[in-house]
Amino acid sequence: MTDREPIQSVDIVIDEELPEVGDSKKKAGGFDLEINSGYDMLFYPGTEISWSLEATRIFGGIEVEGFIRGGLSLECYRCLESYRFQVDGHIREHVICLDSHEDKEREADRGEYHIEGGVFDLLQVIRDAVGLSLPIKRLCTLDCRGLCGVCGRNLNTGSCECLTVEVDARLKPLEALREKLENAKLEDER
């Protein structure tokens, strides 16, 4: 996807496109999504995920309502294989029109969307909707067995011959204490 330029914004100019309270404007499109690490997302022109939003001018701001739908490729946290994840979300947000610099700082601290300079970037709402629809634990299946810690083989495709002894992580401090006591006993015997 790096041969294309990412989408920087999907602007709606409030005074031109929504001059009066009650005016509505529909915008729709599609994009391909690249997730670099965690929730760092880049949107490219494409058809992987489609979106449709309607912005309606209300007193003091705008209301944005619509949907995002589609499928995207995610990497399983356990086996590192790609799998398809379906995105299907409803969006409904209120965007506040701010006048003074003090109001902008106060509203930004509260995490609300706001219109700056008479322009609102709909990509903010789309980005948040996609981010909220992504699973916290990205697994290809709930019973994914992951990779062997020794040889790296995908244990979903078969088992390996590596000898592994799983120790409960909660018992690690006791194992360290046991080693310390054994070493102290050996020194006492000398």
Take residue 76 and report the two structure tokens written for it: 């399983």
Domain span at residue 178?
A: 1-190
Burial class (CB in 10 A: 0-12, 13-18, 19+), 144: middle
How many Cβ atoms are within 10 Å of 72's Cβ, its own excluded? 19
Q: pTM of the full predicted structure?
A: 0.73
Give the closest residue to 95 by CA, choosing from 68, 67, 123, 69.
Answer: 123
As for how many domains the chain has, the answer is 1
* Ranges of the chain whose pLDDT falls below 50: 1
Give the pLDDT confidence score for residue 86 in this predicted structure: 94
pLDDT in tens, 101-142: 555 565 555 667 888 888 999 999 999 999 999 998 999 999
Give the pLDDT confidence score for residue 1 in this predicted structure: 47
Is the CB of residue 44 less than 8 Å from the CB of residue 1?
yes
Give the pLDDT confidence score for residue 178 in this predicted structure: 87
Give the pLDDT confidence score for residue 106 in this predicted structure: 58
Give the pLDDT confidence score for residue 99 in this predicted structure: 66
Measure the CA–CA gap between 107 and 95, rounded to whole angstroms.
11
Give the pLDDT confidence score for residue 182 in this predicted structure: 87
